[in-house]
C-alpha cells in the first residue's frame, strides 16, 4: 500500500473529533499522488458524506466547469478539504475540528508535494495564510514553503452570486501561467506610521 492509501485507511477510522459520530463516510480526498495542482475546499457536504468523495455535488460540478475552462479534468488534479467529515447541517467547521484534522491535510500536502495549492473559500485560505480578507486577497499568489498558495472564492459561494462568480472565473484563468512562473515576492510591509498621539 502507498503512504497515501495508508493515510486514507487511517482517516476512515478517525475518531479525533465528534464529527466522527455523525458522519456516514470520511472524505479524505482524491487525485494523482504526484499532482502538481491541489485544490483544498472546506468540508464535505451532504453528497460527499454519502459517497466518500470530495466535490461531487453542485459545487463540484461548477469546479469541473472551472477546470474545463483551463483545459483540465478533475482526474488530473488532487482535491481535498480542510476537514474530512461533514459538519451536521453543513455548518461552518469549528476551530477544534480543523485542528484535530490538521495532521491529515498536512501529511497529504507533504506526500503529494504539489507546486500550487488553490484554496477554495475562507476556511481553506485561513488554514494556509492566517487571518485575511478573502475579498481582498483572492487571486493573489502567495509563496509558502516552496509552493504557491492561491486563494480564490469557494465555488459554492460563487455559483449563485454573480460578483463572486466573475471573480472565481477570472482567478481560475490565471492558474496555468502561475503554475509555470514563479510568483513575485510579496511586497515589503509598508513602513509603520509613527504617531505621537
- The residues binding ligand URA (CB under 6 A) are 41-45, 48, 54-55, 59, 81, 156
Closer CB to ligand URA, residue 59 or residue 175? 59
Q: Is the dihedral of CA 36, 37, 41, 43 positive or negative?
A: negative
Nearest approach in angstroms of CB 29 to ligand URA is: 9
Distance from C-alpha of 73 to C-alpha of 30, rounded to nearest angstrom: 13
Closer CB to ligand URA, residue 86 or residue 147? 86
Nearest approach in angstroms of CB 57 to ligand URA is: 6
Q: How many residues in total does the chain contain?
A: 197
Closer CB to ligand URA, residue 90 or residue 135? 90
Q: Which residues contact 144 (CB under 8 A, 6 or more apart)?
A: 128, 129
Residue located via cell numbers 460578483: 163
Nearest approach in angstroms of CB 184 to ligand URA is: 29
Angle, CA of 37, 62 and 155, to the nearest 5°: 75
Distance from C-alpha of 57 to C-alpha of 179, rounded to nearest angstrom: 27
Closer CB to ligand URA, residue 100 or residue 197? 100
Nearest approach in angstroms of CB 191 to ligand URA is: 38
Amino acid at each position: 500500500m502507498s503512504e497515501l492509501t495508508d493515510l486514507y485507511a487511517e482517516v476512515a477510522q478517525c475518531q479525533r473529533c465528534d464529527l466522527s459520530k455523525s458522519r456516514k463516510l470520511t472524505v479524505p480526498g482524491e487525485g494523482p499522488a504526484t499532482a502538481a495542482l491541489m485544490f483544498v475546499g472546506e468540508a464535505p457536504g451532504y453528497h460527499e458524506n454519502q459517497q466518500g468523495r470530495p466535490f461531487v455535488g453542485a459545487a463540484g460540478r461548477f469546479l469541473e466547469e472551472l477546470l474545463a475552462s483551463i483545459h483540465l479534468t478533475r482526474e488530473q488534479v488532487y482535491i481535498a478539504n480542510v476537514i474530512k467529515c461533514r459538519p451536521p447541517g453543513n455548518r461552518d467547521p469549528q476551530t477544534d475540528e480543523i485542528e484535530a484534522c490538521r495532521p491529515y491535510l498536512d501529511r497529504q500536502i507533504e506526500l503529494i508535494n504539489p507546486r500550487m495549492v488553490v484554496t477554495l473559500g475562507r476556511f481553506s485560505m485561513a488554514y494556509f495564510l492566517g487571518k485575511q480578507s478573502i475579498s481582498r486577497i483572492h487571486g493573489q499568489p502567495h509563496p509558502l514553503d516552496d509552493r504557491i498558495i492561491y486563494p480564490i472564492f469557494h465555488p459554492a459561494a460563487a455559483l449563485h452570486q454573480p460578483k463572486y462568480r466573475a471573480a472565481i472565473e477570472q482567478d481560475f484563468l490565471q492558474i496555468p501561467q502561475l503554475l509555470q512562473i514563479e510568483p513575485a515576492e510579496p511586497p515589503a510591509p509598508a513602513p509603520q506610521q509613527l504617531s505621537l498621539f
